[in-house]
A and B are shown apart, each in its own frame.
Chain A
Amino acid sequence: MSRGLERRYRRVLRLLPGYYRDKWEQDMVAAFLDSWLTGDPYDDECILEVCKPTWPEVASVVALAARLYLGGAATPRRYFAWGQAVRRAVLAVLLVHAVLGLEVLVRTAWSRRLFGVPAPPAILAVAAHGGVWPTVYDLVNVAWVVIFVTLALGHYRTARVLAVLAIVPGLAALLQAQITGIMPAPFGPWAWWVLFSLAPVLAMAAFHSDAPPAARWAWLLALPAGYVLVFGPVLTLLATGNAAWLPDWPGVCCLLVALACLVHAPRAWFRQAGASGVWSLTLTLLAAVVGAYRIVTLTAYQHDPHLMAVSLTELLILVAAAALVAPDAARAQKATAAPPYPGTIAA
Protein backbone atom coordinates (compact mmCIF):
# COMPACT_ATOMS: atom_id res chain seq x y z
CA MET A 1 0.00 0.00 0.00
CA SER A 2 1.37 3.40 -0.91
CA ARG A 3 2.65 5.68 1.85
CA GLY A 4 2.09 9.44 2.32
CA LEU A 5 5.06 10.65 0.29
CA GLU A 6 4.39 8.19 -2.52
CA ARG A 7 0.72 9.23 -2.62
CA ARG A 8 1.76 12.88 -2.85
CA TYR A 9 4.10 12.16 -5.74
CA ARG A 10 1.41 10.20 -7.56
CA ARG A 11 -0.94 13.15 -7.09
CA VAL A 12 1.64 15.49 -8.70
CA LEU A 13 2.16 13.03 -11.55
CA ARG A 14 -1.55 13.21 -12.40
CA LEU A 15 -0.60 16.43 -14.19
CA LEU A 16 0.94 14.28 -16.92
CA PRO A 17 -1.09 12.84 -19.82
CA GLY A 18 -2.48 9.33 -19.25
CA TYR A 19 -0.44 7.65 -22.00
CA TYR A 20 2.76 8.99 -20.44
CA ARG A 21 1.78 7.95 -16.89
CA ASP A 22 1.07 4.42 -18.08
CA LYS A 23 4.61 4.27 -19.40
CA TRP A 24 6.67 6.08 -16.77
CA GLU A 25 4.74 6.64 -13.53
CA GLN A 26 6.13 3.64 -11.62
CA ASP A 27 9.67 4.56 -12.59
CA MET A 28 9.25 8.20 -11.71
CA VAL A 29 7.75 7.46 -8.29
CA ALA A 30 10.62 5.07 -7.54
CA ALA A 31 13.17 7.70 -8.61
CA PHE A 32 11.49 10.41 -6.53
CA LEU A 33 11.46 8.18 -3.44
CA ASP A 34 15.07 7.10 -4.03
CA SER A 35 16.03 10.77 -3.91
CA TRP A 36 14.68 10.97 -0.33
CA LEU A 37 15.28 7.64 1.35
CA THR A 38 18.42 7.07 3.37
CA GLY A 39 18.30 3.33 4.11
CA ASP A 40 17.84 4.00 7.84
CA PRO A 41 14.44 2.45 8.78
CA TYR A 42 13.55 5.09 11.40
CA ASP A 43 14.52 8.08 9.22
CA ASP A 44 12.78 6.58 6.19
CA GLU A 45 9.60 6.02 8.19
CA CYS A 46 9.53 9.71 9.16
CA ILE A 47 10.37 10.83 5.63
CA LEU A 48 7.59 8.72 4.09
CA GLU A 49 5.02 10.10 6.52
CA VAL A 50 6.01 13.75 6.74
CA CYS A 51 7.88 14.94 3.64
CA LYS A 52 6.28 16.50 0.59
CA PRO A 53 7.43 16.95 -3.01
CA THR A 54 9.62 20.04 -3.27
CA TRP A 55 8.69 23.00 -5.45
CA PRO A 56 11.55 22.42 -7.92
CA GLU A 57 10.35 18.79 -8.32
CA VAL A 58 6.78 19.94 -8.90
CA ALA A 59 8.04 22.58 -11.34
CA SER A 60 9.95 19.92 -13.29
CA VAL A 61 6.76 17.84 -13.60
CA VAL A 62 4.73 20.91 -14.64
CA ALA A 63 7.35 21.71 -17.30
CA LEU A 64 7.24 18.11 -18.53
CA ALA A 65 3.42 18.19 -18.62
CA ALA A 66 3.40 21.43 -20.66
CA ARG A 67 5.87 19.87 -23.08
CA LEU A 68 3.74 16.73 -23.46
CA TYR A 69 0.32 18.38 -23.77
CA LEU A 70 1.72 20.90 -26.27
CA GLY A 71 3.33 18.03 -28.11
CA GLY A 72 6.17 18.00 -30.56
CA ALA A 73 7.87 15.14 -32.34
CA ALA A 74 6.77 11.59 -31.54
CA THR A 75 3.75 12.51 -29.38
CA PRO A 76 0.20 11.16 -29.82
CA ARG A 77 -1.85 12.85 -32.57
CA ARG A 78 -4.13 14.79 -30.24
CA TYR A 79 -1.28 16.41 -28.30
CA PHE A 80 0.71 17.13 -31.44
CA ALA A 81 -2.30 18.85 -33.05
CA TRP A 82 -2.79 21.02 -29.94
CA GLY A 83 0.92 21.79 -29.75
CA GLN A 84 0.99 22.90 -33.39
CA ALA A 85 -2.22 24.92 -33.00
CA VAL A 86 -0.92 26.72 -29.92
CA ARG A 87 2.43 27.44 -31.59
CA ARG A 88 0.69 28.92 -34.62
CA ALA A 89 -1.75 30.89 -32.45
CA VAL A 90 1.16 32.36 -30.47
CA LEU A 91 2.93 33.32 -33.69
CA ALA A 92 -0.31 34.91 -34.96
CA VAL A 93 -0.77 36.97 -31.79
CA LEU A 94 2.86 38.02 -31.85
CA LEU A 95 2.38 38.94 -35.51
CA VAL A 96 -0.38 41.35 -34.44
CA HIS A 97 1.94 42.91 -31.86
CA ALA A 98 4.69 43.13 -34.46
CA VAL A 99 2.36 44.81 -36.98
CA LEU A 100 1.48 47.39 -34.30
CA GLY A 101 5.21 47.88 -33.67
CA LEU A 102 5.85 48.31 -37.37
CA GLU A 103 3.12 50.94 -37.44
CA VAL A 104 4.98 52.93 -34.75
CA LEU A 105 8.16 52.76 -36.84
CA VAL A 106 6.44 53.69 -40.11
CA ARG A 107 4.41 56.56 -38.67
CA THR A 108 7.43 57.96 -36.80
CA ALA A 109 9.65 57.74 -39.89
CA TRP A 110 6.92 59.26 -42.07
CA SER A 111 6.20 62.11 -39.64
CA ARG A 112 9.88 62.99 -39.43
CA ARG A 113 10.27 62.59 -43.22
CA LEU A 114 13.28 60.36 -42.61
CA PHE A 115 13.64 59.05 -46.16
CA GLY A 116 12.73 62.22 -47.99
CA VAL A 117 9.08 61.17 -48.31
CA PRO A 118 6.41 63.90 -48.49
CA ALA A 119 4.93 64.96 -45.17
CA PRO A 120 1.88 62.93 -44.09
CA PRO A 121 -1.58 64.50 -43.82
CA ALA A 122 -1.91 66.31 -40.50
CA ILE A 123 -4.28 63.67 -39.13
CA LEU A 124 -1.67 60.91 -39.66
CA ALA A 125 1.33 62.81 -38.30
CA VAL A 126 2.74 61.63 -34.99
CA ALA A 127 3.22 64.52 -32.60
CA ALA A 128 6.56 64.56 -30.82
CA HIS A 129 5.87 63.66 -27.22
CA GLY A 130 7.97 63.59 -24.12
CA GLY A 131 7.61 61.70 -20.89
CA VAL A 132 8.62 58.26 -19.77
CA TRP A 133 5.45 56.25 -20.50
CA PRO A 134 5.00 57.27 -24.17
CA THR A 135 8.66 56.51 -24.83
CA VAL A 136 8.46 53.13 -23.06
CA TYR A 137 5.21 52.41 -24.94
CA ASP A 138 6.89 53.04 -28.31
CA LEU A 139 9.97 51.01 -27.36
CA VAL A 140 7.87 48.05 -26.24
CA ASN A 141 5.83 48.19 -29.44
CA VAL A 142 8.98 48.10 -31.52
CA ALA A 143 10.41 45.32 -29.31
CA TRP A 144 7.51 43.07 -30.39
CA VAL A 145 8.86 43.19 -33.96
CA VAL A 146 12.15 41.82 -32.66
CA ILE A 147 10.38 39.19 -30.53
CA PHE A 148 8.24 37.99 -33.43
CA VAL A 149 11.20 37.74 -35.81
CA THR A 150 13.31 36.00 -33.15
CA LEU A 151 10.58 33.41 -32.50
CA ALA A 152 9.91 32.82 -36.21
CA LEU A 153 13.63 32.22 -36.74
CA GLY A 154 13.64 29.58 -34.01
CA HIS A 155 15.52 31.41 -31.20
CA TYR A 156 12.94 30.32 -28.65
CA ARG A 157 14.78 31.11 -25.45
CA THR A 158 15.73 34.64 -26.53
CA ALA A 159 12.17 35.32 -27.69
CA ARG A 160 10.77 34.10 -24.36
CA VAL A 161 13.08 36.32 -22.30
CA LEU A 162 12.36 39.41 -24.44
CA ALA A 163 8.61 38.73 -24.35
CA VAL A 164 8.59 38.50 -20.55
CA LEU A 165 10.42 41.85 -20.39
CA ALA A 166 8.03 43.37 -22.95
CA ILE A 167 4.84 42.62 -21.01
CA VAL A 168 6.09 44.07 -17.72
CA PRO A 169 5.70 47.79 -18.66
CA GLY A 170 2.12 47.09 -19.77
CA LEU A 171 1.32 45.56 -16.40
CA ALA A 172 2.97 48.48 -14.58
CA ALA A 173 0.97 51.00 -16.64
CA LEU A 174 -2.27 49.12 -15.94
CA LEU A 175 -1.60 48.96 -12.22
CA GLN A 176 -0.73 52.65 -12.14
CA ALA A 177 -3.92 53.54 -14.05
CA GLN A 178 -6.00 51.31 -11.77
CA ILE A 179 -4.53 52.74 -8.59
CA THR A 180 -4.73 56.39 -9.68
CA GLY A 181 -8.25 55.91 -11.11
CA ILE A 182 -7.41 56.96 -14.69
CA MET A 183 -8.25 53.63 -16.36
CA PRO A 184 -9.92 54.54 -19.68
CA ALA A 185 -12.29 51.52 -19.64
CA PRO A 186 -13.14 49.13 -16.83
CA PHE A 187 -12.02 45.78 -18.28
CA GLY A 188 -10.79 46.24 -21.86
CA PRO A 189 -7.14 47.12 -21.12
CA TRP A 190 -6.86 44.27 -18.60
CA ALA A 191 -8.45 41.83 -21.06
CA TRP A 192 -5.98 42.90 -23.76
CA TRP A 193 -3.01 42.42 -21.42
CA VAL A 194 -4.16 39.04 -20.09
CA LEU A 195 -5.35 37.56 -23.41
CA PHE A 196 -2.81 39.03 -25.79
CA SER A 197 0.29 39.58 -23.64
CA LEU A 198 0.33 37.24 -20.65
CA ALA A 199 -1.38 34.22 -22.25
CA PRO A 200 0.85 34.13 -25.36
CA VAL A 201 3.98 34.50 -23.24
CA LEU A 202 2.87 31.52 -21.10
CA ALA A 203 1.92 29.60 -24.23
CA MET A 204 5.44 30.10 -25.58
CA ALA A 205 6.18 26.99 -23.49
CA ALA A 206 4.94 25.17 -26.61
CA PHE A 207 8.16 26.18 -28.36
CA HIS A 208 10.37 23.47 -26.87
CA SER A 209 13.20 21.50 -28.37
CA ASP A 210 10.88 18.77 -29.74
CA ALA A 211 8.67 21.33 -31.52
CA PRO A 212 8.99 21.29 -35.31
CA PRO A 213 10.51 24.53 -36.64
CA ALA A 214 8.13 27.23 -37.86
CA ALA A 215 7.73 27.93 -41.57
CA ARG A 216 9.99 30.91 -41.07
CA TRP A 217 9.77 32.65 -44.45
CA ALA A 218 6.00 32.44 -44.56
CA TRP A 219 5.75 34.00 -41.10
CA LEU A 220 8.35 36.68 -41.85
CA LEU A 221 6.55 37.65 -45.06
CA ALA A 222 3.31 37.82 -43.07
CA LEU A 223 4.70 40.87 -41.22
CA PRO A 224 4.72 43.35 -44.15
CA ALA A 225 1.62 41.65 -45.61
CA GLY A 226 -0.22 42.01 -42.29
CA TYR A 227 0.80 45.65 -42.05
CA VAL A 228 -0.61 46.41 -45.51
CA LEU A 229 -3.77 44.38 -44.81
CA VAL A 230 -4.54 46.14 -41.53
CA PHE A 231 -3.07 49.60 -41.81
CA GLY A 232 -3.68 50.12 -45.54
CA PRO A 233 -7.46 50.46 -45.00
CA VAL A 234 -7.03 52.13 -41.59
CA LEU A 235 -4.72 54.89 -42.85
CA THR A 236 -6.86 55.37 -45.95
CA LEU A 237 -10.01 55.85 -43.87
CA LEU A 238 -8.19 58.23 -41.52
CA ALA A 239 -6.62 60.28 -44.34
CA THR A 240 -9.93 60.61 -46.20
CA GLY A 241 -11.80 61.79 -43.12
CA ASN A 242 -13.84 58.59 -42.79
CA ALA A 243 -12.59 57.56 -39.37
CA ALA A 244 -16.18 56.94 -38.24
CA TRP A 245 -16.19 53.78 -40.38
CA LEU A 246 -13.34 52.28 -38.39
CA PRO A 247 -14.32 49.55 -35.94
CA ASP A 248 -12.71 49.70 -32.50
CA TRP A 249 -9.65 47.48 -31.93
CA PRO A 250 -11.59 44.43 -30.62
CA GLY A 251 -13.79 44.79 -33.70
CA VAL A 252 -10.75 44.84 -35.99
CA CYS A 253 -9.49 41.65 -34.30
CA CYS A 254 -12.90 39.96 -34.76
CA LEU A 255 -13.02 40.86 -38.45
CA LEU A 256 -9.43 39.75 -39.09
CA VAL A 257 -9.97 36.31 -37.53
CA ALA A 258 -13.34 35.99 -39.29
CA LEU A 259 -11.65 36.84 -42.60
CA ALA A 260 -8.94 34.25 -41.96
CA CYS A 261 -11.63 31.62 -41.20
CA LEU A 262 -13.48 32.44 -44.42
CA VAL A 263 -10.30 32.21 -46.50
CA HIS A 264 -9.43 28.87 -44.88
CA ALA A 265 -12.97 27.41 -44.97
CA PRO A 266 -12.77 25.88 -48.49
CA ARG A 267 -9.64 23.91 -47.49
CA ALA A 268 -11.30 22.86 -44.24
CA TRP A 269 -14.40 21.63 -46.05
CA PHE A 270 -12.75 19.83 -48.89
CA ARG A 271 -9.62 18.70 -47.01
CA GLN A 272 -7.48 19.42 -50.07
CA ALA A 273 -4.37 19.83 -47.94
CA GLY A 274 -3.23 17.40 -45.27
CA ALA A 275 -2.39 20.12 -42.76
CA SER A 276 -5.75 21.93 -42.96
CA GLY A 277 -6.93 20.52 -39.63
CA VAL A 278 -4.22 22.15 -37.56
CA TRP A 279 -4.96 25.52 -39.15
CA SER A 280 -8.65 25.01 -38.39
CA LEU A 281 -7.77 24.28 -34.76
CA THR A 282 -5.51 27.36 -34.68
CA LEU A 283 -8.27 29.61 -36.05
CA THR A 284 -10.84 28.17 -33.65
CA LEU A 285 -8.46 28.88 -30.78
CA LEU A 286 -7.87 32.45 -32.00
CA ALA A 287 -11.62 32.95 -32.48
CA ALA A 288 -12.23 31.89 -28.87
CA VAL A 289 -9.62 34.34 -27.56
CA VAL A 290 -10.77 37.23 -29.75
CA GLY A 291 -14.43 36.46 -28.97
CA ALA A 292 -13.68 36.62 -25.25
CA TYR A 293 -11.94 39.96 -25.80
CA ARG A 294 -14.95 41.30 -27.73
CA ILE A 295 -17.37 40.16 -25.02
CA VAL A 296 -15.34 41.73 -22.20
CA THR A 297 -15.06 45.03 -24.05
CA LEU A 298 -18.83 45.19 -24.63
CA THR A 299 -19.09 46.59 -21.10
CA ALA A 300 -17.71 49.91 -22.40
CA TYR A 301 -20.79 50.33 -24.64
CA GLN A 302 -23.59 49.50 -22.24
CA HIS A 303 -24.96 53.06 -22.55
CA ASP A 304 -24.55 53.27 -26.34
CA PRO A 305 -27.07 51.05 -28.18
CA HIS A 306 -25.56 51.77 -31.62
CA LEU A 307 -22.01 50.74 -30.71
CA MET A 308 -23.39 47.79 -28.76
CA ALA A 309 -25.27 46.61 -31.86
CA VAL A 310 -22.17 47.04 -34.04
CA SER A 311 -20.03 45.11 -31.54
CA LEU A 312 -22.56 42.28 -31.28
CA THR A 313 -22.67 42.08 -35.08
CA GLU A 314 -18.87 41.74 -35.16
CA LEU A 315 -19.14 38.97 -32.59
CA LEU A 316 -21.82 37.22 -34.63
CA ILE A 317 -19.69 37.39 -37.79
CA LEU A 318 -16.76 35.90 -35.86
CA VAL A 319 -18.85 33.05 -34.43
CA ALA A 320 -20.39 32.24 -37.84
CA ALA A 321 -16.97 32.22 -39.53
CA ALA A 322 -15.42 30.08 -36.78
CA ALA A 323 -18.31 27.61 -37.08
CA LEU A 324 -17.22 26.94 -40.67
CA VAL A 325 -13.83 25.59 -39.58
CA ALA A 326 -14.72 24.12 -36.16
CA PRO A 327 -15.72 20.63 -37.46
CA ASP A 328 -12.37 20.32 -39.24
CA ALA A 329 -10.64 21.48 -36.03
CA ALA A 330 -12.33 18.63 -34.14
CA ARG A 331 -11.15 16.10 -36.74
CA ALA A 332 -7.60 17.45 -36.59
CA GLN A 333 -7.09 16.02 -33.12
CA LYS A 334 -7.34 12.50 -34.53
CA ALA A 335 -5.88 13.05 -37.97
CA THR A 336 -2.64 14.92 -37.38
CA ALA A 337 0.28 12.53 -36.94
CA ALA A 338 3.42 13.83 -35.25
CA PRO A 339 6.73 13.50 -37.08
CA PRO A 340 9.34 11.16 -35.61
CA TYR A 341 12.48 12.56 -33.98
CA PRO A 342 13.98 14.83 -35.23
CA GLY A 343 11.11 17.15 -36.33
CA THR A 344 10.59 17.51 -40.04
CA ILE A 345 7.27 19.32 -40.44
CA ALA A 346 7.08 23.12 -40.47
CA ALA A 347 4.71 24.80 -37.97
Chain B
Amino acid sequence: MTGQAFFVLTALAGGPRHGYGIVGEVAELSGGRVRLKIGGLYGVLDRLAAEGLIEPDREEAHDGRLRRYYRLTRDGRGALAEEAEVHAAAARVVRARLGLTGLTGPAGAGAAG
Protein backbone atom coordinates (compact mmCIF):
# COMPACT_ATOMS: atom_id res chain seq x y z
CA MET B 1 0.00 0.00 0.00
CA THR B 2 1.40 3.42 -0.95
CA GLY B 3 1.73 6.21 1.60
CA GLN B 4 -0.98 8.21 -0.16
CA ALA B 5 -3.43 5.28 -0.13
CA PHE B 6 -2.69 4.71 3.57
CA PHE B 7 -3.49 8.33 4.42
CA VAL B 8 -6.65 8.35 2.26
CA LEU B 9 -7.95 5.23 4.02
CA THR B 10 -7.04 6.75 7.38
CA ALA B 11 -8.93 9.94 6.46
CA LEU B 12 -12.01 7.85 5.61
CA ALA B 13 -11.71 5.84 8.82
CA GLY B 14 -13.01 8.93 10.61
CA GLY B 15 -16.22 8.90 8.55
CA PRO B 16 -17.36 9.48 4.95
CA ARG B 17 -15.74 12.41 3.14
CA HIS B 18 -15.91 14.05 -0.29
CA GLY B 19 -12.88 14.57 -2.56
CA TYR B 20 -11.60 17.90 -1.29
CA GLY B 21 -12.49 16.92 2.27
CA ILE B 22 -10.10 13.98 1.93
CA VAL B 23 -7.33 16.31 0.69
CA GLY B 24 -7.76 18.53 3.77
CA GLU B 25 -7.96 15.61 6.18
CA VAL B 26 -4.83 13.96 4.73
CA ALA B 27 -2.89 17.21 5.04
CA GLU B 28 -4.00 17.51 8.67
CA LEU B 29 -3.32 13.86 9.55
CA SER B 30 0.17 14.02 8.06
CA GLY B 31 1.02 17.33 9.69
CA GLY B 32 1.19 18.94 6.23
CA ARG B 33 3.76 16.44 4.89
CA VAL B 34 1.36 14.82 2.39
CA ARG B 35 -0.38 17.34 0.16
CA LEU B 36 -2.47 15.48 -2.40
CA LYS B 37 -3.09 17.09 -5.77
CA ILE B 38 -6.57 16.45 -7.15
CA GLY B 39 -5.16 14.42 -10.08
CA GLY B 40 -3.19 12.27 -7.64
CA LEU B 41 -6.16 11.90 -5.28
CA TYR B 42 -8.45 10.49 -7.97
CA GLY B 43 -5.72 8.12 -9.13
CA VAL B 44 -5.65 6.76 -5.56
CA LEU B 45 -9.48 6.74 -5.17
CA ASP B 46 -9.91 4.91 -8.49
CA ARG B 47 -7.49 2.21 -7.40
CA LEU B 48 -8.97 1.86 -3.90
CA ALA B 49 -12.49 1.63 -5.37
CA ALA B 50 -11.33 -1.01 -7.90
CA GLU B 51 -9.80 -3.00 -5.04
CA GLY B 52 -13.07 -2.78 -3.11
CA LEU B 53 -11.50 -0.88 -0.19
CA ILE B 54 -13.77 2.19 -0.52
CA GLU B 55 -17.24 2.80 -1.94
CA PRO B 56 -19.55 5.75 -2.57
CA ASP B 57 -21.56 6.73 0.52
CA ARG B 58 -23.94 9.47 -0.66
CA GLU B 59 -24.22 12.57 -2.83
CA GLU B 60 -24.99 16.04 -1.50
CA ALA B 61 -25.74 19.24 -3.39
CA HIS B 62 -23.43 22.08 -2.39
CA ASP B 63 -23.57 25.49 -4.14
CA GLY B 64 -25.12 23.87 -7.20
CA ARG B 65 -22.53 21.10 -7.40
CA LEU B 66 -22.86 17.50 -6.41
CA ARG B 67 -20.36 16.30 -3.84
CA ARG B 68 -19.91 12.56 -3.70
CA TYR B 69 -18.87 11.14 -0.35
CA TYR B 70 -16.82 7.97 0.06
CA ARG B 71 -16.56 5.54 2.95
CA LEU B 72 -14.41 2.58 3.90
CA THR B 73 -15.74 -0.88 3.11
CA ARG B 74 -15.30 -3.79 5.50
CA ASP B 75 -12.29 -4.91 3.40
CA GLY B 76 -10.90 -1.38 3.50
CA ARG B 77 -11.14 -1.31 7.28
CA GLY B 78 -9.34 -4.66 7.45
CA ALA B 79 -6.62 -3.57 5.00
CA LEU B 80 -6.05 -0.37 6.94
CA ALA B 81 -5.83 -2.24 10.25
CA GLU B 82 -3.30 -4.66 8.72
CA GLU B 83 -1.23 -1.81 7.33
CA ALA B 84 -1.35 0.04 10.65
CA GLU B 85 -0.10 -3.11 12.38
CA VAL B 86 2.80 -3.33 9.92
CA HIS B 87 3.69 0.30 10.65
CA ALA B 88 3.37 -0.26 14.39
CA ALA B 89 5.58 -3.36 14.25
CA ALA B 90 8.20 -1.45 12.27
CA ALA B 91 8.04 1.42 14.78
CA ARG B 92 8.51 -1.03 17.66
CA VAL B 93 11.64 -2.45 15.98
CA VAL B 94 13.05 1.03 15.41
CA ARG B 95 12.36 2.08 18.98
CA ALA B 96 14.00 -1.07 20.29
CA ARG B 97 17.07 -0.54 18.10
CA LEU B 98 17.34 3.04 19.31
CA GLY B 99 16.97 1.97 22.92
CA LEU B 100 13.72 3.89 23.30
CA THR B 101 11.54 0.97 24.43
CA GLY B 102 9.25 2.04 27.22
CA LEU B 103 10.15 5.70 26.90
CA THR B 104 7.35 8.01 25.89
CA GLY B 105 8.69 11.42 24.99
CA PRO B 106 11.68 13.51 23.95
CA ALA B 107 12.69 13.99 27.60
CA GLY B 108 12.77 10.23 28.10
CA ALA B 109 14.65 9.78 24.84
CA GLY B 110 17.21 12.32 25.97
CA ALA B 111 17.64 10.53 29.26
CA ALA B 112 18.15 7.25 27.41
CA GLY B 113 20.88 8.80 25.25
Contacts and interface: CB of A to CB of B under 8 A. Distances in A.
A209 B19 contact: no
A340 B51 CA distance: 9
A67 B43 contact: yes
Nearest to B21: A34
B44 to A, nearest CB: 10
Nearest to A56: B37
B23 interface: yes
A57 B37 contact: yes
Nearest to B70: A27
A341 B39 contact: no
B51 A29 contact: no
A205 interface: no
Contact of B68 (A20, A26, A64): A26
Contact of B37 (A23, A24, A60): A60
A83 to B, nearest CB: 14
B38 A20 contact: no
A44 B62 CA distance: 13
B43 A27 contact: no
Interface residues on A, range: 20 to 34
Given A57-B37, A57-B39, A33 B65 contact: yes
Interface string A9-47: 000000000001001101111111111010000001000
Most buried by A among B20, B39, B51: B39
A171 interface: no
A105 interface: no
Given A37-B63, A341-B50, A32 B38 contact: yes
Given A24-B45, A30-B18, A209-B2, 11 more contacts: A27-B18, A30-B67, A31-B20, A34-B21, A35-B23, A37-B63, A44-B63, A60-B37, A60-B38, A67-B43, A210-B47
Interface of A: 20, 23-24, 26-35, 37, 44, 56-57, 59-64, 67, 74, 209-210, 340-341
5 contacts: A24-B46, A28-B42, A30-B18, A32-B38, A34-B67
